[in-house]
Amino acid sequence: MAIPRIHRVFELRKRVKCLLLILGSGVFMTPILQAQTTPEDDVYRFAHWVVDDVRALIPLHRSRSAAYISGGAAVGLLAFSLADERIVNQATGWKEGAPHTVFRFFNEIGNVKAVRPVSVMLFLGSLTGDDPRFQDAAFTSVEAIVFSNIATDVLKTVLGRARPFEGHGAHRFRPLSGSLSFPSGHATTVLAFTTPWMFYYPHWATYTLVAFSAGTAIARLAENAHWYTDVVAGGTLGFLTARWLSLRHLNNVERGFEVAPFVSAGSVGLRINLN
């Protein structure tokens, strides 16, 4: 079990380094960006986004509402886990009646080794055009994948839930054991990748992208690689991360800080607005 665990730690380090590299570039560019307005088609806006988004995560995770949501989600997943083994047993039977290529296709859609390069190439390709909205959607998709994958890898490593094929049942958790079932990285990745496009281009055609996430979830269950609650938690994590980033970017969140005078009854002063 040592080799898979070392490999997973190595993969997590690479993802953290990737985020730190982007973040470091953004920090370096921040003084320049704050000294001038950033038009919507300025490519350097993306470095500023990363800095702002990481800053926004700190108070978000400390908020009381986040604690309530996390607690409620944990209780809900615990309740759903009672059906984990039954659902996986049913799903493994679906694989026998379907073409192998179908399950292979949906597995690859959620494979971060395939999705991450595709998302990066899509973003880089968007920079050759003159459509800021498409560029924003592509970048948000890349950022959502990186953020959610880091969170997923941390949870996998810390919780150490055994996969179905390991034969230990649905409720075996051994922290830092090398078991990496919860949450599903495939489910996280596919929804982190597709969700921004639904927000930037709301249309029935983009809403059909949900079918890819459903197909990936079923494929992972049928492959005996994940429990039902694994794919639910992973998909939720990927969707919420992408949704949060999409709304921040679409709402044109102010970057850096703003100092503005204010006058109220009996007082005059300056208001500092941190983002």
Question: Cβ contacts of residue 102 below 8 Å, gap of 6+?
Answer: 215, 219
Asked if residues 157 and 176 have their Cβ atoms less than 8 Å apart, the reply is yes
Region 221-245 average pLDDT: 94
Residue with tokens 């709301």: 202
Per-residue pLDDT at 68: 75
pLDDT (tens digit per residue) in 149-194: 999 999 999 999 999 999 898 999 999 998 999 999 999 999 999 9
263: which strand partners?
268
Helix/strand/coil for 272: strand
Q: How far apart are CA 71 and CA 83, in angstroms?
A: 20
Helix/strand/coil for 275: coil
- Alpha carbon 218 to its chain centroid, in Å, reads 19
pLDDT (tens digit per residue) in 42-63: 778 999 999 999 988 877 656 6
Rounded to 5°, the CA angle 21-25-26 comes to 115
Region 254-258 average pLDDT: 42
Q: Does residue 269 register a pLDDT over 70?
A: no
Region 129-133 average pLDDT: 92
Per-residue DSSP letter, 162: P
Q: How far apart are CA 196 and CA 145, in angstroms?
A: 11
Region 221-226 average pLDDT: 91
Helix (H) or strand (E) run with residue 263 in it = strand 257-264
Task: Identify the band that residue 216 occupies on the pLDDT scale cut at 50, 70 and 90.
Answer: very high
Name the region of 183 (left: φ>0; alpha: ψ -120 to 50; beta: rest): beta
Ordered structural domains, the chain, with CATH: 2-274 (1.20.144)
Q: How far apart are CA 194 and CA 122, in angstroms?
A: 12
Cite the DSSP H helix spans in the chain.
2-34, 45-62, 64-80, 84-96, 100-109, 112-126, 132-159, 185-200, 204-207, 210-222, 228-250
Q: How far apart are CA 147 and CA 122, in angstroms?
A: 18
